[in-house]
Amino acid sequence: MMRARAALFALVLCSPAAAQENNDLNRIPQAVLNAPAAQSAPVARAHGKYFLEDDLSATFVQGDLAVASPIEPSHWGNRTSLDAFDRWPLGHNIAFVFSDRFDLSEADGIGFPAGAARNDLREAYLSWEPLPQTYLDFGRINLKNGIALGFNPTDFFRARTGVSQSSADPSALRENRLGTVMVRAQTIWNGGSASFAYAPRLAGARPLAGPRPGWVDPLFDQTNCTDRFLFGLNLDLGDLSTQALLFHGGSRTRLGLDLSYPIGRSVIAYGEWSGGRDTGLTARAIAFGQATGTLPAGAPLLPPGATARRFLSDLAVGASWSSEAKVTLNLEYHFHQAGFSGGDWRNWFAAGAADPALAPELWYIRAYASDAQEPMSRQQIFLRADWQDAPVNDLELSGIAFVNAEDGSSMVQLAADYNLDNNWTVSAYAGSDFGGAQSEWGSLPEAGSIVFQVDRYF
């Protein structure tokens, strides 16, 4: 997700040009229909999922940016991937789970073959059931929490896990990402469950900018650069499903709560919240840049902002509506208190106009947010629409939109997936950023992108 092009490459993952989702990994709209229940035990598979994927993308770059970008995005790219997921029983109540993808990429500025190859080991862990409905897992695990689709305040293991994708849909990002090395224990009973996860520190944090990692580097310096603990308790209270979480990592401790409740037969209302003492986005970005050697020790806090720790909240509330015609609509409101307010954005643009030499540091803040998979802005609206078998069988149409609630700028991506048969799927994605030059989405160097994708399943 980062490397030689680090700051900007991480940043652009927020835009439609960010390219490349394995749309097959999870079609997702149904995800929100599931209550925030316990992570169920893996189900034995007769055969895993293996496929070869190729996508060709074109990115449209805009000039005359309000704050000049230090790196120009690639105008074109092609990625060929071999993807594998499987689960093998090893003995009585023991199984091994494996998920991996090998990429071979071509694009402006990527040397071939050096720098073009990348292998992402997403998951590799042992799962043991020592007692009925009690599970112990060890290894690299993609631990996901939260029930919203556009932003998950309780997804505490999401930072620095992104891999190349064809879609900006956050639901797909959750499925196709690097796991974290951890030990996880969980027990399930009628009406609830409890879980505990511990992820140890295995390496110091990798800078956002720096040399490209080796093609088989597992990137533990992204996923396991601090000790982290997570406790979870799930309860079903009639129709109300709840999950309470306690997370601690480094110097951060956060509480979390997920709720979902059905309203009639077609609507699910849901929400998730997390809160804890922390500094704002800018202060954390500058501190990380200095700690990893990317920014000088005396780098100013730009735009100016408070460095004191205070209680900050994240919130995602929304609803999902489904029809008998296989149409699902989601509408969400996101509040990220650590993110940029309208005043912060005005300061960001003003700083870049006053001193163009500050542009790398200003863009670094946005790259840091993208790398951590957290919103840049304090308030945003998220919309998602999905129509399966539309208007013919095996065709799925979908679209997402992020809208800055203060400046009105937006990012929109539309997608179409068609299953030719059991072995072949073709997809197309088209995205664009809308807004004025001094708006969140209108200030990105990418005006839009298109991606054509072909998957061959085995």
Per-residue pLDDT reduced to its tens digit, 322-366: 999 999 999 999 999 999 999 999 999 999 999 999 999 999 999
Class of domain 6-457 as given by CATH? mainly beta
Domain ranges of the chain: 6-457
State if pTM tops 0.85: yes
Q: Which residues of the chain have pLDDT under 50?
A: 1-46
**Residue 31: both structure tokens together:** 């995800």
Q: What is the pLDDT of residue 343?
A: 94
Q: What pLDDT does 309 receive?
A: 93
Residue pLDDT, tens place only, 102-157: 999 998 877 666 678 999 999 999 999 999 999 999 999 999 999 999 999 999 99
* Strand-strand pairing, 165-165 and 19-20: parallel
**For residue 30, what pLDDT is reported?**
39
Classified as helix, coil or strand, 186 is: strand
**CA separation for the pair 219, 81 (Å, rounded):** 19
pLDDT of residue 114: 64
| pLDDT value of position 124 | 98
State how far the Cα of 398 lies from the Cα of 26, in Å rounded to an integer.
Answer: 13
The pLDDT of residue 300 is 81
* SS3 of residue 375 by DSSP: coil
Q: Write the Ramachandran bin of 289: left for phi over 0, alpha for psi from -120 to 50, otherwise beta.
A: alpha
Give pLDDT, residue 47.
65
CA dist 365 and 345 (Å) reads 12
Place of tokens 């940043």: 11
